[in-house]
Structure 1
């Protein structure tokens, strides 16, 4: 190699080094520091052992000071030797690690795990009891963690059914249930036309509703639901007009009724037949949806009650009108699903009301009314409860055939519910039974395997409505014998029924017993001194006999009257006539003579009738009696001619 080039390179490197030192980045070219993890762990272990040794030595010294007559040579030589050896090894390892890591500071860290201690043999005293590396303690923690993991993996453990309360709605079927989003109030509706309001925070152990009303008069309540904000309630009944009530039950709006003589239902402003179902939009608090027997699904705005927003018309395979029996929104509110009487499930895009986005013709048996549709919380799975005693799940991404099918679930009501658990792992629904032929049940299915994992016997009647509130973690069930049951767990549930079961029942206030306060006046004169009360019962009996204190009504006045009161005569017509007849002093014993008494005056001075007919009235001509008439009168009865 040319020596001139070597000199130039060395000069250049020296010039670069000077420039780097002047610019201040001469340290950028240092080699990266490396760490020996095994040495660090070993040093940490030795430090922990040394500390524990020191603690034990201090304890032994204290015991030696307390004991009299014993020598201070109680520390065992092997222990000292082990401690000395450990300190020596620690110094060596620290020097080695310090040389490797280019660091002069001592590394201090937490105790090393147990598995590293088992690698090397250690001669020394046992570790203190609080040391986290103990095998027994770690095994217990592992067992607890495994048990918690099993509970998390098993969704049946999360079902809150250890306790229950029963709310008596009435004697007929509870066909509607609704909880507000916060879980503070429950609303129930039934076949008895009543809507009852239950406040968990205000109820005691008597479990009485604080309000009951009939918002739709003599129409059965089909569905109830709180809005997404919980300030209004949608009421769907057997008539054609849906109602919206506020939290206290006062009417907010009533939807308009359409013209039943118009053929195209899209040209009417509202429904023309009985409603079947309804629900609120999950994102927009002003919008709700209804479906009716007129073959339409309509969306409404709370601020515009005179006309619907949009109309969706389900059709059969031949294009004919079909009646929707249930409807619901998807979780994001972009899809509208309806179950129809022909067993089909039809889903529209909310903004496109003409053609369906998903359509399954043979979802359930034709002619069976699907009673409920429910979307899962992830928005992928749709559960349908059919009138053909089945429960099916569908994947929205592949809507041609069901994912899972469960059979043998009797359904006798057009509003039997199905819903998902809050963790989206279970699906529950109710079963129906005939009267006095068994018990209605809540049946739980695993969402993935669709196996029956749990069931609850509710009562000796059908379980119609079911609701699993995600915030309260409590299950509400409406039955066919007028009960609304709430299932909860004291540890897994929150608020709700737990608030009212701990309150003692209020005592009734007896307002009919009135007592008079007794005023003691020891220095009053005898004439002003009040007699001492011996018994409250006796005083009440005396007050009852006193007409002024008992407010006894005065008897009616008979005769001419007294005390400024005038005797009142009867108020009926007969008593008035009797009174006037009694006051009439004329003698009308012979009525004919009384009439003929005015005959002469009427003929001489006519006033009423005769002056009106003076010009046109003919003269009366009377027949004269003849001998033939006299003979005819003398004939026997059988010879007289019948007229």
Structure 2
């Protein structure tokens, strides 16, 4: 009776039909349905994997395997929240299927598109946003494996730009660690600065200078921090410049009359090479024709820090032509003219730590020493047209040798690729005898895997920047080329090629403004000039506009200007002498003309003696007749 009264009250109040019955679930039926679906999907997945010969872990995704447990847990939570208020069984759930459900629908699956033919794909949680099918992963892995197997694919040579340094050989290249600025030096004594971010498509250097006057530039290198540049030229003094080309430090010159070069504070002969320490930003290294290798500190200009003296097998002095630091900065290597390669510990300069006496042909200039990025392999470019690699753990014989690489320059380069799998060097050619090439050798087998024809001149310098992944080349005809790839390379040359060339600013000519009034009479109207030539001719006739010089002044002068004659004392005297008509042939008579006037009106001499000597007393001159004849001959007056 109570339930009937409550229903009557609800009907009377008008809210009996507002609410909807909560959906109820049969747990045992849902678990059974989920178990069957999981078994069916697992069977399909296994059949598909057997047909496509795929691995089991690739055929059945982890998300699909764990989807049933997630679904069951969500169903359990939902049922537990609604089981307390619902007492009806499966009959009530069947009756409420046609009604609207309050619960949110299952989220659609992401990643692989859902097909209507495969309804099982609707079951399971969504895949992560970065999910890729196994087919895409296989393609990417294949590409990576292909690049690893073939290092030629990593060479950035699809595009190039050409920087015009000058007309003579580009003998030095330097690129800062960030890759923002390039500096080039050549046989024309010039050092030019190139800013990739500031250049446009015209590719013009923003600064050019001659830091070492009339000495050829041999080496340019940025420090490990990129704030200063080491300049090694043909002089005996290396210089350090800042990023804008201003001098920071200059090495002192040694005493060339000293026998022991270790006693002097600096080099006494021409420099050959130099480089910065890879770890200490203030220290750098130079080698010279005086037979020494010296280390320097930028903050100390009084002298070198340490000196190393390479010796021949007989203990005689030999000239080092190339020098470098190891990658960790603990070793100093030098290539000498007797064909030897000698290495010292950086802190011990007495004996060599490693040496090979017959690394290259005696009497040739070893032009370059380069350590690999791993630090265990040393590459040398010899003046005997060879390229060799050496293992630092067994320095007795070379690992690989390539001969026939023509080199005409004492600074021919070799360098390693950023992945340490290739070695790059250039070849020289005679004028009009072919093209200089950039050759790529595999480090392990020393097989030539690639080559680039650069230009119809020798390839002198080469530099492969690891951060930009771009190759810089200096040639014998004054060009600096940059090779890059839009996909594999970063910044550098890519920044300047996309900028359009700046237009030259036109010189603004100031023209005379004419005031034209609507009712001006023709007689007062200024004629408008149609050509500038006629206006220039009129200006030429005007003495003020044409700056006509003033004519000379006739007469004594006026207005502060000196006349043609008589303006100065000398001209006045010359004029009076020239115009004087008196005859001064007899000077005695000319003087005696004034004797009577001087006696009557004394002015110069007589007033001075009027008090002390009123009466004039003249010296008595004896005549020749009164002279005694006994006077010595030497006292007689000579006539």
TM > 0.5: yes
Q: Output the aligned Cα RMSD.
A: 4.4
Deviations 1:507-546 (A, max 9, x none): 2223363335667888xx959xx979967x6368537744
Q: Report the Cα offset of residue 94 of structure 1.
A: 8.2
Normalising by structure 1, we get a TM-score of 0.69
User: Does the 8 A contact of 1:369 with 1:414 survive in 2?
Assistant: yes
User: Does the 8 A contact of 1:374 with 1:383 survive in 2?
Assistant: yes
User: Does the 8 A contact of 1:544 with 1:550 survive in 2?
Assistant: no
Alignment pair present for 1:511 and 2:499 = no
Partner residue of 1:560 out of 542, 554, 561:
554
User: Does the 8 A contact of 1:279 with 1:290 survive in 2?
Assistant: yes
Gap change, CA 1:507 and 1:295, over 3 Å in 2: same
| Secondary structure in structure 1 of the residue aligned to 2:548 | coil
Deviations 1:318-359 (A, max 9, x none): 111100000000111111000000011101110111111110
Gap change, CA 1:423 and 1:42, over 3 Å in 2: farther
Partner of 1:316: 312
Partner residue of 1:183 out of 168, 175, 179:
179
| Unmatched 5+ stretches in structure 1 | 1-39, 51-89, 115-123, 606-610, 622-643
Partner of 2:60: none
Matches of 1:475 and 1:514 in 2, distance apart? 49
User: Does the 8 A contact of 1:232 with 1:247 survive in 2?
Assistant: yes
User: Does the 8 A contact of 1:44 with 1:109 survive in 2?
Assistant: no
Alignment pair present for 1:620 and 2:613 = no
Partner of 1:166: 162
Q: In the TM superposition, what are the counterparts of 1:351-390 in structure 2 within 5 Å?
A: 351-390=347-386
Q: In the TM superposition, what are the counterparts of 1:579-598 in structure 2 within 5 Å?
A: 581=574, 584-586=577-579, 596-597=586-587
Q: In the TM superposition, what are the counterparts of 1:23-172 in structure 2 within 5 Å?
A: 44=38, 46=40, 125=118, 138-139=134-135, 141-172=137-168
Q: In the TM superposition, what are the counterparts of 1:568-579 in structure 2 within 5 Å?
A: none
Matches of 1:313 and 1:550 in 2, distance apart? 75
Matches of 1:379 and 1:41 in 2, distance apart? 61
Matches of 2:409 and 2:300 in 1, distance apart? 33
Partner residue of 1:262 out of 258, 265, 275:
258
User: Does the 8 A contact of 1:518 with 1:533 survive in 2?
Assistant: no
Gap change, CA 1:307 and 1:125, over 3 Å in 2: closer
Gap change, CA 1:559 and 1:104, over 3 Å in 2: closer
Gap change, CA 1:326 and 1:560, over 3 Å in 2: same
Q: In the TM superposition, what are the counterparts of 1:438-453 in structure 2 within 5 Å?
A: 438-453=434-449
Partner of 2:276: 280
Normalising by structure 2, we get a TM-score of 0.70
User: Does the 8 A contact of 2:285 with 2:293 survive in 1?
Assistant: yes
User: Does the 8 A contact of 2:554 with 2:563 survive in 1?
Assistant: no
Gap change, CA 1:43 and 1:332, over 3 Å in 2: farther
| Unmatched 5+ stretches in structure 2 | 1-33, 45-63, 79-105, 596-618, 623-633
Q: Report the Cα offset of residue 212 of structure 1.
A: 1.0
Matches of 1:177 and 1:587 in 2, distance apart? 81
Alignment pair present for 1:538 and 2:531 = yes
Q: Report the Cα offset of residue 457 of structure 1.
A: 0.8
Q: Report the Cα offset of residue 184 of structure 1.
A: 1.0
| Secondary structure in structure 2 of the residue aligned to 1:415 | coil
Gap change, CA 1:308 and 1:127, over 3 Å in 2: same
Partner of 1:22: none
Q: Report the Cα offset of residue 128 of structure 1.
A: 6.6
Alignment pair present for 1:422 and 2:418 = yes
Matches of 1:497 and 1:491 in 2, distance apart? 12
Gap change, CA 1:600 and 1:541, over 3 Å in 2: closer
Partner of 1:437: 433
Gap change, CA 1:500 and 1:477, over 3 Å in 2: same
Matches of 1:178 and 1:315 in 2, distance apart? 31
Matches of 2:274 and 2:36 in 1, distance apart? 70
Partner of 1:30: none
Gap change, CA 1:46 and 1:452, over 3 Å in 2: same
Q: Report the Cα offset of residue 363 of structure 1.
A: 0.6
User: Does the 8 A contact of 2:239 with 2:250 survive in 1?
Assistant: yes
Q: In the TM superposition, what are the counterparts of 1:221-236 in structure 2 within 5 Å?
A: 221-236=217-232
